[in-house]
Amino acid sequence: MPVIVNLLLGLLFGVGLIVSGMANPAKVLNFLDVFGTWDPSLAFVMGGAVLVAFIGFRFVLARGRPVFDTAFHLPTKRDIDNPLVLGAALFGIGWGLGGFCPGPAFASLGVGATGTYVFVPAMLVGMWAARRVGR
């Protein structure tokens, strides 16, 4: 049952990314181009997502445990180290060059966006390489 719930929630998330424009690399690149053809509409999408997540986390974490697990699995590491800074920089560079981040890239595969056929394999290789280097 949890697999089906996760699949449905993932599909809902993907539809939301497509409807909001987050899966459109041209729109994302215009959002990132603050001194050029800036499009602030994605700021409202991100702000709405942060607000929903903030409220949702408050409700969910008030429960004793998750619905389909025995405990919450939250990150405990809080320090800012070189791998975090390097990873954030690489993420930002990839986002700025490709107009995709992981979630919207996978959602764009479903609608046949041609740029994703290059971006997603490169992203997967990067994730694999990061795990190999991080050992």
Q: Tens digits of per-residue pLDDT, 22-58?
A: 888 888 899 989 999 999 998 999 899 999 999 999 9
Q: What is the pLDDT of residue 51?
A: 96
Q: What is the pLDDT of residue 40?
A: 92
Q: What is the pLDDT of residue 50?
A: 95
Q: What is the pLDDT of residue 14?
A: 87
Read off the tokens for 67.
């619905």
Q: For the residues of the chain, what is the DSSP string, one character each?
A: -HHHHHHHHHHHHHHHHHHHTTT-HHHHHHHH-TTSS--THHHHHHHHHHHHHHHHHHHHHTSSS-TTSSS----------HHHHHHHHHHHHHHHHHS--HHHHHHHHHTT-TTHHHHHHHHHHHHHHHHHHT-
Model-level pTM? 0.72
**Spans in the chain with pLDDT lower than 70:** 1, 135
